[in-house]
A and B are shown apart, each in its own frame.
Chain A
Amino acid sequence: TQLLEQSPQFLSIQEGENLTVYCNSSSVFSSLQWYRQEPGEGPVLLVTVVTGGEVKKLKRLTFQFGDARKDSSLHITAAQPGDTGLYLCAGERGAGNMLTFGGGTRLMVKP
């Protein structure tokens, strides 16, 4: 059992649809990060959330950190083919401590 559970594992949608990816844990995190990875490259940071209940927006992407800092969600509005990739959440339990990654959500957006 992973410390961070992501769902769904796979998602295939049409361009223009909305979607939400979830990252859940029974542990409390001091910060939660979301990364996106494209084929042949390493993951790249999208956002870091630190405060319980925090909401951050990055263009069509909305990230939320749960009030108890145990879970997070990523919502994409009007998905585009360029959003295709592997989305990874990662939790940190204290400064200088190791990041723990979820299993990832593989998103495919069809034109």
Chain B
Amino acid sequence: GAGVSQSPSNKVTEKGKDVELRCDPISGHTALYWYRQRLGQGLEFLIYFQGNSAPDKSGLPSDRFSAERTGESVSTLTIQRTQQEDSAVYLCASSSGTLGNEQFFGPGTRLTVL
């Protein structure tokens, strides 16, 4: 596809379960970002991948959160032992990594932890 895709679009899970969220970036984009957005709030940076460099994990809120990226393609965000405060929309974005690079966002995954 032409844009960033994310799956699933919605995920409802029980407290304590693990979840995996997937992001397919635009082909050729070296940079990939994950953000969390709580209802009515701005974007909260989680993690940043740029090419083959070590990812910037400075935004991950706890060790229950982790993310991987295979080369310059798919990324998976994993949340272990989910808590109710994890409920939010998780947005993925990719960019070309050049100066003034535009971030292209996916539609997000809405996570609800019961």
Contact = CB atoms under 8 A, between A and B. Distances in A.
A106 B40 contact: yes
Contacts of B107: 40-42
- Chain B residues touching A, majority SS: loop
Interface in B28-76: 30-31, 33, 35, 40-43, 45, 48, 50, 56
Interface stretch (A12-20, A56-64, A71-79, A94-102): A94-102
Given A33-B102, A48-B102, A95 B45 contact: no
A39 to B, nearest CB: 10
Nearest to B44: A101
A85 interface: no
Contact of A92 (B41, B91, B93, B100): B100
Interface residues of B, number: 27
A12 B105 CA distance: 26
Contact of A99 (B30, B42, B91, B103): B103
Interface string A17-52: 000000000000011010100001111110010100
B108 A42 contact: yes
B106 A42 contact: yes
A86 B42 contact: yes
A45 B93 CA distance: 12
B91 A30 contact: no
Given A88-B42, A96-B97, 5 more contacts: A6-B42, A42-B108, A48-B100, A48-B102, A98-B31
21 contacts: A33-B103, A41-B105, A42-B108, A43-B91, A48-B100, A90-B103, A92-B99, A92-B100, A95-B101, A96-B50, A96-B99, A96-B101, A98-B33, A98-B45, A98-B48, A98-B50, A99-B33, A101-B43, A103-B41, A104-B42, A106-B40
